[in-house]
Amino acid sequence: MLELTESEIEALIENHHKNKNKPKDRELHKEAVDKEPMRSPVYSLKDILGYGLTYLYAKEHLREGKVMPCEEKFSIFKKHSCEESTKFPEQQAPRSYKSSFAELSGIQEITKARDSLRHCWIGHNLAILTSDFNLQGYFKRELLFQKRFENSSIMIATFEKIYIGLCTGEIVYFDPIGQNEKIEKVHTDLITSLCVESGNLLSSSMDGTIFYKKSIYINSQGVLAVKLIADDKFVCSCEDNTIALHENGDTKFFGGHKNRIKSLTYDKVAVSTSLDGVMGVLSREGAFETTEIGCSHHKRVNAHQIVGYGKSEIVVYDVSSKHADQRIKETTQYLDVHENTVAYTRDNRLRIRDMRSNDTIEVPLRAKGRDLSFSELGDMVLVCTDDSPFMVDLKYI
């Protein structure tokens, strides 16, 4: 995408190594594009690679989902300036928010993803599925492609593929690089959960089955979520408020939840939470125990600790000791966790809290906050609202 002469490459290498005691007086090639004087580039090698891979400052730009040629010539010795470059977040000066544990900056609205339905991160790659079934692929804030998938219910992504579950039971395998797709009919009803385990796709459906290499019947009421324990061992949350343990063709059901199960996670033990504020724990030995913790949803911190939310409190709970380590009088339906940091929305506010110090950063939003999630490295947060979603940079102090 980028065309660089040997002289420009040498200049980039020289600039890259200038703080590493590399020789500065080696002879550069004399053939420079447009006979530019040899001086320190304004871009780093990292910039050049990133811009080339995402079409920024290159021969072409992505505009409204289409690749368009750029009429302005690129040079490593000056900042690229054209109609599209004025839209880049680097040119903006957004407000920042700072606390004792982190700094928030680069807050930018993603206007092309209004009314987002689902989203997921893979590194700094982001996939967003809008409520009108438009799949959008981003690298950080930059839109790379758009593709429409009717009747989508759920989505996950890996570096190789994006998987879209449909309301009619099909799963779409979409290659974002080649823009190719393959459709497989693995269920007969709404797909409720998707994940990739050991290179194989694991799914559940309201038709009462799960699919992992083959179709496995669980119950007639529908399966809300499934987690892999071993190659032929699964734990499921079901529409009839039960937890199902399927192993080697045999299924056992556990009661205790009196209302719809909203979250199911597995890490050495399975944890479930339901609308009535009850937490269930299924041990590796197959024993199931329920406890009232006052949270309808949860996110996993590690094998022993969860963060519960969804009712009148946010609760940091130790599953092994059966003890609430921390209770925060906050009501939220949308929360995510990265290591010791919790992010959640409450009305028109985004709050990011350090669980160790309880120090909090609060950011006002233009619309009511909905779902949100950390990037895999925890250095970015996507915040969905009743309007367009926002992207936030997060730097830990």
Domains of the chain: 6-86 (no CATH), 261-331 (2.40.10)
pLDDT of residue 283: 92
Q: What is the pTM of this model?
A: 0.74
Instruction: Please check whether residue 115 is in contact with residue 134, taking contact to mean a CB–CB distance below 8 angstroms.
Output: no
Helix 45-53 to helix 6-16 angle, to the nearest 10 degrees?
130
Residue 296 to residue 232: CA distance in whole angstroms: 29
Residue 51 Rama label (left phi>0; alpha psi -120 to 50; beta): alpha
pLDDT average, residue stretch 346-359: 93
pLDDT of residue 15: 76
271: phi then psi, degrees, rounded to nearest 5? -125, 135
Query: pLDDT band at residue 94, thresholds of 50, 70 and 90?
Result: very low
User: What tokens were used for 35?
Assistant: 């006979």
User: Among 33-42, 92-101, 227-236, 325-334, where is mean pLDDT lowest?
Assistant: 33-42
**Which residue do the tokens 């090639």 mark?**
29
CA-wise closest residue to 159 among 175, 143, 173? 175
Residue 247 to residue 250: CA distance in whole angstroms: 5
Instruction: Please check whether residue 316 is in contact with residue 355, taking contact to mean a CB–CB distance below 8 angstroms.
Output: yes
Instruction: Please check whether residue 258 is in contact with residue 274, taking contact to mean a CB–CB distance below 8 angstroms.
Output: yes
Residue 299 to residue 295: CA distance in whole angstroms: 11
Instruction: Please check whether residue 101 is in contact with residue 92, taking contact to mean a CB–CB distance below 8 angstroms.
Output: no
pLDDT of residue 294: 96
pLDDT average, residue stretch 336-343: 96
263: phi then psi, degrees, rounded to nearest 5? -140, 140
Instruction: Please check whether residue 308 is in contact with residue 324, taking contact to mean a CB–CB distance below 8 angstroms.
Output: no
pLDDT of residue 89: 39
pLDDT of residue 42: 75
pLDDT of residue 224: 98
**Which residue do the tokens 């992504």 mark?**
157
Q: Kindly state the percentage of the chain with pLDDT values over 90.
A: 66
Residue 367 to residue 357: CA distance in whole angstroms: 29
Instruction: Please check whether residue 290 is in contact with residue 319, taking contact to mean a CB–CB distance below 8 angstroms.
Output: no
The CA–CA distances, whole Å, from 142 to 121, 137, 203, 395 equal 14, 8, 30, 20
CA-wise closest residue to 316 among 287, 333, 334, 294? 294
Instruction: Please check whether residue 225 is in contact with residue 235, taking contact to mean a CB–CB distance below 8 angstroms.
Output: no
pLDDT of residue 67: 59
- Where is pLDDT greater, at 39 or 101? 101
The CA–CA distances, whole Å, from 1 to 49, 58, 116, 224, 361 equal 10, 6, 31, 45, 40
Query: pLDDT band at residue 63, thresholds of 50, 70 and 90?
Result: low
Q: What is the DSSP letter of 365?
A: -
pLDDT of residue 39: 65
User: What tokens were used for 310?
Assistant: 């969804």
Instruction: Please check whether residue 377 is in contact with residue 362, taking contact to mean a CB–CB distance below 8 angstroms.
Output: no
Average pLDDT in the chain: 86
Element (H, E) at 48: helix 45-53
Statement: residue 23 has pLDDT above 60: no
User: SS3 for 50?
Assistant: helix
pLDDT average, residue stretch 57-80: 66
pLDDT of residue 88: 41
- Note the residue count of the chain: 397
Statement: residue 218 has pLDDT above 60: yes
3-state helix, strand, coil in the chain (%, to 5): 10, 50, 45
- Where is pLDDT greater, at 116 or 47? 116
Element (H, E) at 61: strand 60-63
Statement: residue 19 has pLDDT above 50: no
pLDDT average, residue stretch 24-48: 55
- Where is pLDDT greater, at 18 or 357? 357
CA-wise closest residue to 207 among 191, 225, 196? 191
Instruction: Please check whether residue 244 is in contact with residue 235, taking contact to mean a CB–CB distance below 8 angstroms.
Output: yes
User: What tokens were used for 252?
Assistant: 């056992």
Statement: residue 275 has pLDDT above 90: yes
